Structure 1
Amino acid sequence: MAKPSSREMALARQARLAGLVMAVTIVAWVVLGWMGREFGWDPRYAFLIDFSALAAFVWALIVTFRVWRQGKADK
């Protein structure tokens, strides 16, 4: 088996980072939503949490799409 190139390693690192961001975002979104309901936070904080999670998901989607496109271009 051939050793992966530095470009392939960089793409793999970016993909792992996007996956980590998605996983942390899901957990944080659920926990902060629960805390907001439990402690009676102002609804504007719920919107802030939701929009922050949405921004993280969009960023991860863009990074994943770029990794996919670059991986296809290399082949």
Structure 2
Amino acid sequence: MADQQDFNRRGRVIALVIAGTGVGWIAATAIGGALDWSQRLRALFDLAALGGFVWALWMVYGLWRDRQKDKD
């Protein structure tokens, strides 16, 4: 059984992953435009950001499942 502090900590980690992925993606897009990176390299950063967001979504799903299990 997880306690409320564990749920809160996991929620903060998820929020940091989402925020970090978003900021990193925006930074990579801006730097790529300024330095005239190839579309292939920009797509690599887009895929990395997509992976980060999918991972965060998977973490949210796991947190939701654990909260539902702990409800009873």
TM-score (norm 2): 0.87
Paired with 2:8 and 2:66, the residues of 1 have a C-alpha distance of: 11
Aligned residue among 47, 53, 64 for 1:51: 47
Paired with 1:51 and 1:7, the residues of 2 have a C-alpha distance of: 35
Q: Aligned-residue CA RMSD in angstroms?
A: 1.5
Q: Could you list the runs of 5+ residues in structure 1 that have no partner in the other structure?
A: none
Measure how far apart 1:12 and its partner are: 2.1
Count of residues in correspondence between the two structures: 71
Q: Quick one: structure 1 residues 42 and 52, their matched pair in 2 at CA, closer, same or farther if it must change by over 3 Å?
A: same
Paired with 1:59 and 1:18, the residues of 2 have a C-alpha distance of: 9
Which structure would you say has the larger Rg?
A: 1
Aligned residue among 49, 56, 59 for 1:60: 56
Per the alignment, residue 22 of structure 1 pairs with 18
Task: Give yes or no for the alignment of 1:72 onto 2:68.
Answer: yes
Per the alignment, residue 30 of structure 2 pairs with 34
- The secondary structure found in structure 2 opposite 1:30 is helix
The farther-off stretch of 7-16 and 22-31 is 7-16
